[in-house]
Amino acid sequence: MASNYVVGKWKTWYKALDVNHDGKISMEDVEESRSKFSDLHHLDPKKAKMVKDNFQTWWDKYIFRGQTGDISEAQFVEALNKDYVKNKEGFKKEMLDCFNMFFDVIDTNKDRSISDQEFLIAFRAYGHENVALDTSFFNKYKPDKTGLVPLMDIVNSWVQFVCDDDESKRDVVNEGFASGV
């Protein structure tokens, strides 16, 4: 079993994925996040379809993990734990792929950096509407003087969040959620 620290972070991630805040992860969460993201970015129909398809693939592969129907927190944690315990390095690689895919979709201008606006839109699409808290979370990444954070810095922070059980290491994502996001 993963440590209580890691399991606690998975539970936090689960709550963050519950876009409509109904206590479960479902296709409604997928649809709401896909639609909101496309609408907030004012994507043309062709690009909106591509983004929605990419989000669907991401949800199916990394969140639903082959399950159908609604997912409870216990099911989510159990699925992650199964893969984590079986092969921790393999799980870490899978999470690297997961977050590379996710943030590649978020990086709509494909500059391999995330701006505060891209970050805020992504968080709004996932039901996190408090701009001040979301901005504070983004600023924990210490954007460069142009206001950008390299995509891989964000990807690696999320991999650390779901994989690393060393509580002594700074965990930007865990800090962000602990601040109330």
Other Cβ atoms less than 10 A from the Cβ of 80: the count is: 25
Q: What is the residue whose two structure tokens read 């995509």?
A: 151
C-beta atoms surrounding 124 within 10 Å: 18
**pLDDT given at position 74:** 97
CA–CA separation, 133 and 124 (whole Å): 11
Query: Per DSSP, what are the bridge partners of residue 115?
Result: 148
pLDDT at residue number 181: 87
CA angle 54, 138, 171 (to 5 degrees): 95
3-state secondary structure the chain: CCCHHHHHHHHHHHHHHCCCCCCCECHHHHHHHHHHHHHHHCCCHHHHHHHHHHHHHHHHHHHHCCCCCCECHHHHHHHHHHHHHHCHHHHHHHHHHHHHHHHHHHCCCCCCEEEHHHHHHHHHHCCCCCHHHHHHHHHCCCCCCCCEEEHHHHHHHHHHHHHCCCCCCCCHHHHHHHCCC
| pLDDT, position 171 | 97
Specify the pLDDT at position 79.
Answer: 96
Per-residue model confidence (pLDDT) at position 68: 87
Per-residue pLDDT tens over the stretch 118-136: 999 999 999 999 999 999 9
> For residue 25, what pLDDT is reported?
97
pLDDT digit string (tens) for the chain, length 181 residues: 899 999 999 999 999 999 999 999 999 999 999 999 999 999 889 989 999 999 999 999 999 998 889 999 999 999 999 999 999 999 999 999 999 999 998 998 999 999 999 999 999 999 999 999 999 999 999 999 999 999 999 999 999 999 999 999 999 999 999 999 8
